[in-house]
Structure 1
Amino acid sequence: MPIGSSPLGTFVESWNPEPLIDDEVLSAAPAAALSALLDQLEPVAGEGESLPPLWHWLHFLRWPKQNELGEDGHPRKGHFLPPIPDRQRMFAGGRCEIVEPLSIGARTERASSIADVAVKQGRTGEMVFVTQRNEFRQHGRTRLVEEQDIVYRSGRSAGDHPAAVDTSAAPRPDGAWQLGAQPDSALLFRFSALTANAHRIHYDSPYVRDEEGYPGLVVHGPLLAVLMLELVRRNEPRRVRSLSFRLRSPIFAGEHLVVSGDPSPDGAVLQVATHRNARHATAEVTFA
């Protein structure tokens, strides 16, 4: 759908933010903190070692002033936030090419830009799909290139969710690799802190029920992606060369989930299941 021919499209028709360049020395502290969150006995990676896939999300964080947050906890304005009224944001998926793993302790440059903007019609109305591209460089070389797909809509949509969270039912997934978890509110709080995510759906139970229409706290989509790659890290010695993932439907705090995967000679297919859905999130990886 041409951008300017739709109601939401009129808000983003002339929106074309300039690229941004940031730099940061990748500290070992965030990797140690995420390792603890994942119940690892020791940090997964330290100074001079390779950052696991997707763990770069712990770096280059933005902390807006408290008075710059909206009612939902997200920033009201931002360089790469489209000018949509009453904006609702959803992380839909992404892709990542890892030419070389990022090294902890090295000064790193990130170049961010908008790669694509598209207006589409979904089951719940009109949506704007924004693809943000991030390129990471160390020692003058491009090490990692990712694209993140973010979906925006105006207003709230209740969606199709269970009336209550079932904390006893468990999935029965297939897959040569399996990793079980039951994320609780403390885990979600810690992951929000690690990723500078103030969205209230991850920690404010009254808000998530009364304002968003969910039956409970929502497990972060990025956390589901990290868990899928963690399953690979624990089972496959070869390095991940590329990955793609899609976040399909929410999981709620207290639900039993299982991350499962089936390896092949060149990669693996992964998914996250609960008793409600066998494919809340999916991913594909290839090995170097």
Structure 2
Amino acid sequence: MIDVTGWAPRARETTEVIDAAPAAALAGALDVPPPGEELPPLWQWLHFLERPARHELGPDGHPREGRFLPPIPDRRRMFAGGRFRITEPLRVGDTVTRRDELASTAVKTGRGGEMLFVTVRQTFLRDGAEIAVEEQDLVYRSGEPAARPPAPSFEAPAVDAPWTLPMTADPVLLFRFSALTYNAHRIHYDEPYATGVEGHAGLVVHGPLLAILCLELPRRAGVRVRELSFRARRPVFAGQPFAAAGAPDGTLSIEAPGGVTAMTATFS
């Protein structure tokens, strides 16, 4: 039984000067020009990175301990979604402070047993003024992984939307995104671990990468996003063709093979 009674981590603050290099590197990985001085929404994930020592990592590649990691045994982490509200964009050269705090926790029961839902709120400050707020929803399971699902489909999805971005995330892209976000979770680069230990059907495409690809649609259309919300529904695996789809009305999604909607999002 998941029990996090008494777990109440304190808020913390980290200050960083926003450098141009990470955004240029992500733009190269996505085959697009660098974005300029303003960071596109969600590209703040390239900054304020934690860099634990190797001995601090668990068998899954994640840190064994951390301020916002719940104290539950055999912990397995999944990215579930989030929200982002922007008053002013983060800009290259800015000195920005990020304040992290635990916003909420909830234990729920699903088909695979108990799950702990954790929401972490991150407030971005420039010269003491709030410029953006992000909330990340994370899901933690305890115990044995689910049985490995059937082999994934590799049939290109049929997508009919005003905006589309067809993609296939190969292991090279997953490696580069892991490196840019300092994410050592083995499900993104170690296929025997991803399939044999975590029970996935292949290497898993990062949820944050899918969210960024959703936001590429309004960005490439010249639409400035001020607020967004996204939810991860199903995994996408390396080598699967998928597409970001969207419309000017504010709806976005990731469409995967087999008629699967892997992520939904809205923006304004």
> Is the structural similarity TM-score above 0.5?
yes
Partner of 1:18: 10
Cα-Cα RMSD: 1.2
Tell me, yes or no, if structure 1 residue 63 matches structure 2 residue 51. Answer: yes
Distance 2:144 2:156 in 1: 30
Partner of 2:29: 37
Q: Secondary structure, in 3 states, of the residue corresponding to 1:171? A: coil
Partner of 1:220: 206
Choose which of 275, 280, 285 in structure 1 pairs with 2:257.
Answer: 275
Q: Deviations over 1:145-175 (max 9, x none)?
A: 01101111102332673x32444x1000121
Q: Secondary structure, in 3 states, of the residue corresponding to 1:186? A: helix
Q: Secondary structure, in 3 states, of the residue corresponding to 2:214? A: helix
Partner of 1:184: 170
Distance 1:215 1:246 in 2: 21
Q: Is the 8 A contact 1:166 1:254 kept in 2?
A: no
Q: Is the 8 A contact 1:173 1:278 kept in 2?
A: no
Distance 1:154 1:8 in 2: 7
Distance 1:225 1:157 in 2: 25
Distance 2:210 2:147 in 1: 20
| Aligned-partner residue type, residue 214 of structure 2 | M
Partner of 2:220: 234
Tell me, yes or no, if structure 1 residue 259 matches structure 2 residue 259. Answer: no
Q: CA deviation at 1:229?
A: 0.4
Q: Secondary structure, in 3 states, of the residue corresponding to 1:61? A: coil
| Aligned-partner residue type, residue 123 of structure 1 | R
| Aligned-partner residue type, residue 263 of structure 1 | P
| Aligned-partner residue type, residue 175 of structure 1 | A
Q: CA deviation at 1:215?
A: 2.1
Spell out the pairing of 1:151-166 with structure 2 (5 A cutoff).
151-158=139-146, 161=149, 163-166=150-153
Q: Is the 8 A contact 2:148 2:201 kept in 1?
A: no
Q: Please, which runs of 5 or more residues in structure 1 have no aligned partner? A: 1-6
Partner of 1:110: 98
TM-score (norm 2): 0.97
Distance 1:156 1:23 in 2: 38
Size of the alignment, in residue pairs?
268
Tell me, yes or no, if structure 1 residue 134 matches structure 2 residue 129. Answer: no
TM-score (norm 1): 0.90
Q: Secondary structure, in 3 states, of the residue corresponding to 2:218? A: helix
Aligned-pair identity (%) = 54
Partner of 2:197: 211
Q: Is the 8 A contact 1:271 1:278 kept in 2?
A: no
Partner of 1:143: 131
| Aligned-partner residue type, residue 84 of structure 1 | I
| Aligned-partner residue type, residue 57 of structure 2 | L
Q: Is the 8 A contact 2:175 2:188 kept in 1?
A: yes
Distance 2:170 2:152 in 1: 12
Distance 2:88 2:144 in 1: 41
Q: Deviations over 1:68-112 (max 9, x none)?
A: 111111110001101000001111000111011111111000000
| Aligned-partner residue type, residue 255 of structure 2 | A
Distance 1:59 1:213 in 2: 30
Q: Is the 8 A contact 2:153 2:257 kept in 1?
A: no
Distance 2:147 2:166 in 1: 26
Distance 2:180 2:116 in 1: 27
Q: Is the 8 A contact 1:25 1:105 kept in 2?
A: yes
Q: CA deviation at 1:138?
A: 1.2
Tell me, yes or no, if structure 1 residue 100 matches structure 2 residue 88. Answer: yes
Distance 2:140 2:258 in 1: 25
Partner of 2:78: 90
Q: Please, which runs of 5 or more residues in structure 2 have no aligned partner? A: none
Partner of 1:175: 161
